């Protein structure tokens, strides 16, 4: 097997890897800015330089030539090489900054050059705390600058588009953003203008950077030149908790991280998963943070007369819910599941009412033909359509839902704005007594007689099956009125959570929503109705599902965690339609 020697240690390799990626794969470190594993290699930042040599072979014998010490003779390249663009060769010898003073000096000088016109605004820069330039300057850069003349000033606070703001002075011309629009989103909306120390990325005159994936350039910008217009100046990275989750704005199920502070989701960024979304996500998925913070159903509410919906206690809500069920025959009750709710929620929702003799839950997919782009935006607007199919809910079209609702005396809807997406009209819900189990206020909750607030994807652990049949799960990122971050071992804790107190001005109870996980509310309702029904965690629900459904056998939360989701042996055409 071919071999390479890096800083005196021997490694074997297969294929034709590039040197920088191979070094990173071994857990070693070489500083870089322009390189990205999913894009082309321009080698223009010059930061990943290493010293490279190859062993000398005797042309006649093919044997390695040895020096007086019996070691292989090495023919060194005359200048340092950019490791990102250097393919490995059998027998190659590499010295990084760890073993070569020449390379350490070259990287230090290069950083000094990059910093000549870079503003020293780290205290106010949004990238502070996660800026590779800041980190690498601290680790590998000079202690000061010899540049004593006025820096070159470029445009600041430029609105490139509706979601991205440019501070051109911070740009180091790594061209990651330009290559992203050329190679990944393929909109070609960004280019580099001007020359030398005056150049920076921008759009063509009169054009707007409205690429539906534009905010990925913010993620990959190594210096804070491109910033999120929405997130600027809201929080520092060290103040927030980072929690893995799933994008719920369409059927792709992009892997994401939720960034929270004081129980508010402040930003959403993509989480790398090469089987689903690589390093990217659509901008629409980032706007979902508003769904988790704003317009939430907070406390149960009940309609006392035609247009007067007011908050009520949990006890009264449970009692009202129970009385409605007891007053009606199961055949007069229709339950509607949701592709917007998790596998666990749909399962317990269906099981609970099945125990009362109610027919299987129906659901209708939320599909807008033509809205997908063949990349990460799908026609399917819901995150769990295949999850509803896996647990065998009754899939129907909009007309069938309208028909069963009109025949029912009681309609119970799980987390789906059927009016907002034109499946039903307000008049369809005038006759039956309507109960909504919902996360956000919508046209459907406004038309309901009783509204029960339930936790959203940011507040519970649950699983979702994407359009490709891959099941993935979320973690709780936000506390509710009834949960505590320090008691729940699944919840991440930031510096403020560990060391803050209730008297600190960044701690507030106002951002905790008064809601319950669906299974916890159904436990309370089951107690009132005398049903044998109890779950303490979504993990229990999934274990039951895994033991009862062949398609989910051998699937567990632990396996989803280890494998970043599990591909189920299903295809859409094979699932019940």
Question: If you write DSSP's letter for every residue of 493-512 in order, what string do you get?
Answer: --HHHHH--TTSTT--STTS
In sequence order, the 6+-apart residues with CB closer than 8 A to the CB of 302 are 309, 310, 312, 316, 317, 320, 449, 450, 451
Beta carbons of 337 and 350 less than 8 angstroms apart = yes
Beta carbons of 286 and 265 less than 8 angstroms apart = no
Q: Give the model's pLDDT for residue 469.
A: 96
Q: Give the model's pLDDT for residue 144.
A: 82
pTM above 0.85, yes or no: yes
Reading the block at residue 232, the tokens are 């600027």
What are the tens digits of pLDDT across the range 128-187? 999 999 999 999 999 888 888 889 999 999 999 999 999 999 999 999 999 999 999 999
- Determine the Cα–Cα distance for residues 53 and 435; give it in Å rounded to an integer: 73
In sequence order, the 6+-apart residues with CB closer than 8 A to the CB of 465 are 253, 343, 384, 385, 386, 387, 389, 390, 471, 568
Instruction: Cite the DSSP H helix spans in 122-268.
Output: 132-140, 176-179, 216-220
- Determine the Cα–Cα distance for residues 435 and 73; give it in Å rounded to an integer: 81
- Determine the Cα–Cα distance for residues 297 and 292; give it in Å rounded to an integer: 11
Q: Give the model's pLDDT for residue 571.
A: 66
CA angle 200, 236, 481 (to 5 degrees): 140
Nearest to 468 by CA among 523, 392, 386: 386
Q: How many CA atoms lie within 13 A of 251 on its CB side?
A: 24
Torsion of CA 413, 416, 420, 421, to 10 degrees: -110
In sequence order, the 6+-apart residues with CB closer than 8 A to the CB of 148 are none
Beta carbons of 265 and 287 less than 8 angstroms apart = no
Cα 17 versus chain centre, distance: 28
List the pLDDT tens digit at each of the 577 positions of the chain. Answer: 899 999 999 999 999 999 999 999 999 999 999 999 999 999 999 999 999 999 998 888 888 899 888 889 999 999 999 999 999 999 999 999 999 999 999 999 999 999 999 998 899 999 999 999 999 999 999 988 888 888 999 999 999 999 999 999 999 999 999 999 999 999 999 999 998 889 999 999 999 999 999 999 999 999 999 999 999 999 999 989 999 999 999 999 999 999 999 899 999 999 999 999 999 999 999 999 999 999 999 999 999 876 789 999 999 999 999 999 999 999 999 999 999 999 999 999 999 999 999 999 999 999 999 999 999 999 999 999 999 999 999 999 999 999 999 999 999 999 999 999 999 999 999 999 999 999 999 999 999 999 999 999 999 999 999 999 999 999 999 999 999 888 888 898 888 888 877 777 777 888 999 999 999 999 999 999 999 999 999 999 999 999 999 999 999 999 999 999 999 998 655 444 4
- Determine the Cα–Cα distance for residues 300 and 499; give it in Å rounded to an integer: 34
Reading the block at residue 13, the tokens are 């390799």
Starting at the edge strand found earlier in the chain, the sheet holding 226-228 runs 158-159, 164-166, 226-228
* 261 bridge partner residues: 264
Reading the block at residue 465, the tokens are 């099956």
Q: What is the helix (H) or strand (E) element at residue 158, kind and residue range?
A: strand 158-159
Q: At what angle do helices 343-355 and 538-548 cross, to 10 degrees?
A: 80
- In Å, what is the CA distance from 508 to each residue of 92, 289, 515, 552? 58, 18, 17, 40
Nearest to 176 by CA among 48, 35, 20, 274: 35
Locus of tokens 């509410």? 301
- In Å, what is the CA distance from 134 to each residue of 127, 199, 224, 485? 9, 21, 10, 31
Beta carbons of 36 and 21 less than 8 angstroms apart = no
Q: What is the helix (H) or strand (E) element at residue 22, kind and residue range?
A: helix 19-25
Beta carbons of 177 and 220 less than 8 angstroms apart = yes
What is the number of other CB atoms lying within 10 angstroms of the CB of residue 335? 26
Provide the 8-state DSSP code for 394: E
- Determine the Cα–Cα distance for residues 336 and 473; give it in Å rounded to an integer: 23
Reading the block at residue 164, the tokens are 């991205």
In this structure, which long-range contacts are made by residues 432-435, counting pairs with CB atoms below 8 Å and at least 24 apart in sequence?
Answer: 432/334, 432/405, 432/408, 433/324, 433/328, 433/409, 434/410, 435/321, 435/324, 435/410, 435/411
Q: Give the model's pLDDT for residue 577.
A: 40
């Amino acid at each position: 097997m071919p071999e390479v020697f890096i800083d005196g240690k021997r490694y074997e390799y297969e294929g034709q890897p590039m040197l920088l990626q191979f070094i990173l794969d071994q857990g070693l470190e070489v500083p870089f800015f322009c390189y990205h594993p999913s894009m082309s290699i321009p080698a223009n930042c010059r930061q990943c330089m290493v010293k490279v040599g190859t062993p000398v072979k005797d042309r006649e014998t093919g044997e390695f030539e040895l020096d007086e010490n019996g070691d292989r003779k090495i023919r060194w390249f005359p200048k340092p090489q950019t490791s990102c663009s250097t393919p490995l060769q059998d027998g190659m010898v590499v010295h990084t900054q760890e073993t070569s003073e020449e390379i350490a000096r070259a990287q230090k000088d290069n950083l000094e050059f990059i910093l000549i016109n870079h503003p020293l605004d780290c205290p106010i820069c949004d990238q502070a705390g996660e800026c590779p330039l800041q980190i690498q300057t601290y680790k590998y850069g000079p202690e000061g600058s010899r540049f004593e003349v006025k820096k070159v000033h470029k445009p600041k606070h430029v609105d490139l588009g509706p979601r991205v703001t440019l501070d051109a002075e911070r740009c180091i011309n790594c061209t990651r953003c330009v290559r992203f629009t050329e190679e990944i989103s393929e909109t070609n909306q960004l280019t580099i203008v001007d020359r030398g120390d005056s150049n920076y990325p921008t759009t063509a005159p009169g054009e707007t950077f409205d690429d539906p994936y534009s905010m990925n350039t913010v993620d990959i910008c190594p210096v804070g030149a491109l910033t999120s217009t929405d997130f600027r100046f809201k929080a520092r990275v060290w103040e927030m908790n980072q929690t893995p989750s799933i994008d719920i704005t369409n059927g792709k199920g992009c892997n994401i991280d939720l960034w929270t502070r004081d129980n508010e989701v402040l930003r959403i960024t993509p989480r790398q998963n090469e089987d689903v979304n690589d390093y990217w996500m659509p901008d629409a998925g980032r706007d979902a943070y508003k769904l988790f913070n704003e317009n939430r159903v907070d406390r149960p509410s009940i309609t006392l007369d035609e247009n007067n919906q007011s908050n009520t206690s949990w006890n009264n809500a449970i009692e009202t819910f129970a009385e409605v069920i007891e007053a009606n025959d199961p055949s007069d009750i229709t339950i509607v599941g949701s592709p917007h709710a998790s596998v666990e929620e749909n399962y317990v929702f269906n099981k609970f009412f099945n125990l009362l003799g109610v027919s299987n839950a129906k659901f209708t997919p939320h599909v807008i033909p033509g809205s997908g782009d063949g990349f990460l935006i799908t026609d399917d607007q819901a995150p769990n359509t295949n999850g509803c199919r896996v647990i065998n809910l009754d899939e129907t079209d909009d007309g069938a839902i309208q028909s069963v609702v009109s025949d029912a005396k009681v309609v119970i809807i799980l987390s789906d704005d059927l009016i907002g997406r034109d499946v039903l009209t307000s008049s369809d819900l005038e006759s039956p007594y309507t109960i909504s189990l919902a996360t956000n206020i919508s046209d459907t909750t406004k038309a309901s007689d009783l509204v029960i607030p339930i936790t959203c994807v940011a507040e519970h652990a649950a699983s979702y099956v994407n359009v490709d049949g891959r099941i993935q799960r979320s973690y709780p990122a936000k506390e509710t009125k009834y949960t505590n971050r320090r008691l729940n071992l699944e919840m991440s804790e930031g510096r403020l959570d560990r060391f803050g107190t209730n008297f600190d001005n960044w701690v507030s109870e106002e951002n905790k929503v008064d809601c319950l996980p669906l299974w916890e509310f159904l436990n309370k309702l089951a107690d009132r109705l005398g049903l044998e029904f109890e779950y303490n965690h979504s993990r229990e629900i999934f274990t039951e599902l895994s033991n009862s459904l062949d398609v989910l056998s051998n699937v567990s939360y632990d396996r989803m965690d280890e494998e970043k989701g599990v591909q189920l042996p299903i295809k859409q055409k094979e699932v019940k339609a």
